[in-house]
Structure 1
Amino acid sequence: MLTRINQKMALILAVIAGVYLILSYNLPKYPNAIIDADVVPKGLGFLLLFFAILLFLDKKEETEAEKQKRSLSKSNLFVLLAVLAFILVYISLLEVLGFLIMTTLFIFSCSLFLGYKKHLANGIVSVVFSLAIYGLFNYLLRINLPAGIIPF
C-alpha cells in the first residue's frame, strides 16, 4: 500500500498535524479577544494537514539521485545533533538567563560552531537582533519575553 517514501512521510506528517490540531483546540478561549490565541496554531495545523494530503497524493517516483541526496553522512549527523543540543540548552536556560542573554549567546555560538569566521560581525548581529526582537515584543507588541537576570 505505502510504496513511496512520500506516502510514508505524508502519514507521519498527518498524524503530527492531527495531534497538533487536538492540542490547539484545547487552548483556552478569551472572551474579549477579537482574534483569539488559537487562530495561528489552528491555521498552521490545518496547513500542515493540507500539505500532508498533497504529499500523499503526489505520484512522483523517487529517482536514484534523490535517494542519494537523502543519505546522511556521520559528520552531517554530528552537526545536526550538536545544533539540537544548542537548541535544548537555549530552551532550558531561557527563563533563567532571559531572552536577551540566551538569544545573543545562541546566535553567536551556533554561528561560530557552524563555521562563521567574522567574529565582530557575528557579535554585532547577535546583539542587535536580540535587542530588536526584545524591544519589538516587549515595548511595541506588549508581549513580555523572559527578562531573566536583566532588570528591564
Structure 2
Amino acid sequence: MTRLNTNQWLALILAVFAVVYLWMAWQIPSFPLPRPVDSDLFPKVLGFTLLGLAALLFFERPAAAVSDDEVADAAAESAQVSDGQPLLLRPWSRVVVTSLAIVAYAFLLVPLGFVLASTGLGFGLSWYYGYKRHVVNLAVALGVVLTLYLTLTRAMGVYLPTGLLPI
C-alpha cells in the first residue's frame, strides 16, 4: 500500500469540501417563474469545477523530493534577495499592495463601473507583478472583463454597474 503525498491529501480535503458544497447547491430553491439560468447554476458549476480540480491535483505527479539543505539554502537566498529589493517589491509588500488594490477596486467599482475598474485592477496588478508586454496585458484584461460583463449582464441578467461607460 502506497502512502498519499501532500497534494493527494489536499485533493481529498478539497474533494470533500466540493461534495458538501454541491450538496448545499442542490438545496437552493428554484424560482417559481421559469428562467433560462436559475440561481443554483453558478454554485453547481463552481462545485463541479472544484471537484474536477481536486481530481487533477490528486493524480498530479509529485515533484522530486527536496532535501532540508536545499530548503535552507533557498530560504537564505530569498532573505538576501528581499533585503536588496526595493520596498514595494518585497514579498510582504506585494501582499499589502495587492490588498490595497482590491480595496481600491471595491471603492471604485460603482463610480468607474465594472468594465473600467476590473480592467484597471487586472492590468495594474499584472504590471506591478512584472509583466512587460503592456499591449497584450491590456488586451487580455479587457477581453476577460468584457467576456465576464457580457455573460453576466446579457446571458444571466445580472446587474453590474456601468459607471462612466454607456454600455
Does the TM-score normalized on the shorter chain lie above 0.5? Answer: yes
Q: How many residues align?
A: 148
Contact 1:100 1:130 in 2 (8 A): no
CA distance in 2 between partners of 1:46 and 1:90 (Å): 29
Contact 1:90 1:102 in 2 (8 A): yes
CA distance in 2 between partners of 1:77 and 1:126 (Å): 25
CA distance in 2 between partners of 1:140 and 1:59 (Å): 37
Closer/same/farther in 2, CA of residues 78 and 35 from structure 1, 3 Å limit: same
Aligned residue type for 1:113: Y
**Corresponding residue for residue 38 of structure 1:** 40
**Corresponding residue for residue 14 of structure 1:** 15
**Corresponding residue for residue 49 of structure 1:** 51
RMSD: 4.5
1:99 aligns with 2:114: yes
Tell me the secondary structure at the aligned position of residue 161 of structure 2: coil
Q: What is the CA deviation profile of residues 83-130 of structure 1, one whole-angstrom value per residue up to 9, with x for unaligned ones?
A: 7423454345424542022123213311220223455x3686378548
CA distance in 1 between partners of 2:133 and 2:56 (Å): 42
Closer/same/farther in 2, CA of residues 61 and 145 from structure 1, 3 Å limit: closer
- TM-score w.r.t. the length of structure 1 is 0.59
CA distance in 2 between partners of 1:100 and 1:28 (Å): 31
CA distance in 2 between partners of 1:37 and 1:52 (Å): 24
Contact 1:100 1:131 in 2 (8 A): yes
Aligned residue type for 2:44: K
Closer/same/farther in 2, CA of residues 93 and 138 from structure 1, 3 Å limit: same
- Structure 1 stretches of 5 or more lacking a match? none
- TM-score w.r.t. the length of structure 2 is 0.55
Tell me the secondary structure at the aligned position of residue 144 of structure 1: coil
- Structure 2 matches for 1:118-137, cutoff 5 A? 119=134, 121=135, 125=139, 129=143, 132-133=146-147, 136-137=150-151
Structure whose CA Rg is larger: 2
